[in-house]
Amino acid sequence: MTLQEIIEKDRKYYMNTFGDRTPVCFSHGKGISLWDLDGNEYYDFLAGIAVSALGHSHPAVVNAICDQAKKFIHCSNLYYIESQVKLAELIVENSCADKVFFANSGAEANEGAIKLARLYFKKKGYSNKIEIITLEKSFHGRTLATIAATGQDKYQKPYSPLTPKFLKVPINDLKAMEEAICENTCAVMIEPIQGEGGVNPTSYEYIKGLRELCDKNGILLIFDEVQCGLGRTGKLFGYQHYGVEPDIFTLAKALGGGFPVGALCAKDHVAKTFEPGDHGSTFGGNPLACSVAYAVLSTIINDKLCENAEETGNYFFEKIEAVKRKHPVINEVRGKGLMIGIEFSRPIAKEVNKKCFENRYLLGTVGNSIIRVLPPLIVTKADIDGLIEMLDNVLSEFD
């Protein structure tokens, strides 16, 4: 089909949840590049919104899919699954978690975290401890419970009334958090670095204080690492930047390198709350998803892609400084590793992103003032140079 035929059929048959999409359809990809139906090459600095950690068509992902699909794709969790056990072991051996449960997405993993935190206190006899405090500008998913946990009105208003017992406080404000904690609080749930909210890092002091607050009040600390985990920030997990460990954390996005999979990870004192029948999934942890995720996580670790994310991320921040000085329309550049937000002093992000697309660079936006840079973890300094040169040229039109 031609691009126009695809667009017309999309409008006719697909639910209009995405509106008019960027007018392109890709036929294939390799590394950080994607090619459209006409053979034009695009440089992917969005990575499917922090999903394609190894880039496109990476041999580790392709081989894992093909090898497992030739054997069998799915079996029930009524039976033992070798790749599920191997993946759980790999996560536990490289993190602060003791146990893992596999879901199909980040939203499902976060739903599991919410259920686990509430059930933890219920089984201890605290039926009142059901409130979870989250942060303003946070994003935790699109199910009803995770929308309720999300700290952005635009996601919540269409679905009100929401699932109750979620309270939002400002980011990096320990006093506000302390005042919000009460006898009904069971957990605090945060993203160490907010993604959909505009790439907003929490401070070292804030996270240290947050851990102390949770310990002091006997409540659980949950980290949503769906976007910032698995090497994105220059370390395998976001919590490793702060010298603290959460009681529960969640993963998804990069875990499958493009294949749908999520993980609910917890320390043993919390994980043992779940007993047979308390939680489950038909597709979660299936042999194919776990085989792919094992290949992706192994590659991230063995190929030292966390280190590459840190090095190329630092390189980007160094190079963008000259662009920022040259183009005052850039208000701030923030983030860690390869999780980067460029905030403008005017609401031009969508126009800038359109110009980037015309130059065949794929980036993301948050609202009207922020561009998001989330390249695959395999990105090189030469790739960064190309992005910087393109941004410099594009922003000349907005001075």
The pLDDT confidence band at residue 153, using thresholds 50, 70 and 90, is confident
pLDDT, the chain, mean = 97
pLDDT at 144: 87
Name the residue among 154, 71, 86, 142 with its Cα closest to residue 111. Answer: 142
Do residues 129 and 185 touch, judged by C-beta distance below 8 A? yes
Asked if pLDDT for residue 282 goes beyond 90, the answer is: yes
Predicted pLDDT at 385: 98
Using the predicted structure, report yes or no on whether residue 261 has a pLDDT greater than 80: yes
175 has a pLDDT exceeding 80? yes
Confidence of residue 157 (pLDDT cuts 50, 70, 90): confident
> Which residue matches tokens 């949503």?
224
Q: Which tens digit of pLDDT belongs to each residue from 203-257?
A: 999 999 999 999 999 999 999 999 999 999 999 999 999 999 999 999 999 999 9
pLDDT at 364: 97
SS (H, E, C) the chain: CCHHHHHHHHHHHCCCCCCCCCCCCEEEEEECEEEECCCCEEEECCHHHHCCCCCECCHHHHHHHHHHHHHCCCCCCCCCCHHHHHHHHHHHHCCCCCEEEEECCHHHHHHHHHHHHHHHHHCCCCCCCCEEEEECCCCCCCCHHHHHHCCCHHHHHHHCCCCCCEEEECCCCHHHHHHHCCCCEEEEEECCEECCCCCEECCHHHHHHHHHHHHHHCCEEEEECCCCCCCCCCCCCHHHHCCCCCCEEEECHHHHECECCEEEEECHHHHCCCCCCCCCCCCCCCHHHHHHHHHHHHHHHHCCHHHHHHHHHHHHHHHHHHHHHHCCCEEEEEEECCEEEEEECCCCHHHHHHHHHHCCEECEEECCCEEEECCCCCCCHHHHHHHHHHHHHHHHHHC
So what's the pLDDT on residue 100? Answer: 98
Average pLDDT over residues 367-396: 98
What pLDDT score was predicted for residue 18?
Answer: 94
Q: What is the pLDDT of residue 399?
A: 85
Average pLDDT of span 279-305: 98
Residues 6+ apart with CB under 8 A from 297: 87, 90, 91, 94, 230, 255
pLDDT digits (tens, 9 = 90+) for 300-315: 999 999 999 999 999 9
Cβ neighbours of residue 60 under 8 Å, at least 6 residues apart?
A: 54, 257, 295, 296, 298, 299
Report the CATH number of the 3-57+304-398 domain. Answer: 3.90.1150.10
Buried b or exposed e, range 65-78, using 16+ CB within 10 angstroms: beebeeeeeeeeee
What value, to the nearest 5°, has the Cα angle with vertex 16 and ends 191 and 289?
Answer: 50
Model pLDDT, residue 158: 79
Beta pairing class for 200-201 and 220-224: unpaired
Q: Positive or negative, the Cα torsion across 194, 100, 262, 229?
A: positive
Please write the tens of the pLDDT for every residue from 8-50.
999 999 999 999 999 999 999 999 999 999 999 999 999 999 9
Looking at residue 163, what is its pLDDT? 76
Residues 205-226: b if buried by 16+ CB within 10 A, e if exposed: ebbebbbebbeeeebbbbbbbb
Segment 177-197 shows an average pLDDT of 97
Per-residue burial over 337-370, b if 16 or more Cβ lie within 10 Å, else e, is: bbbbbbbbeeebbebbbebbeebbbbbbbbeebb
CATH class of 72-302: alpha beta
Catalogue the active-site residues: 139, 224, 253
The domain spans of the chain are 3-57+304-398, 72-302
More confident residue, 164 or 342: 342
pLDDT tens across 54-94, in order? 999 999 999 999 999 999 999 999 999 999 999 999 999 99
Would you say residue 320 has pLDDT above 90? yes
At 104-146, the pLDDT tens digits run: 999 999 999 999 999 999 999 999 999 999 999 999 999 988 9
Mean pLDDT for 273-289 is: 97
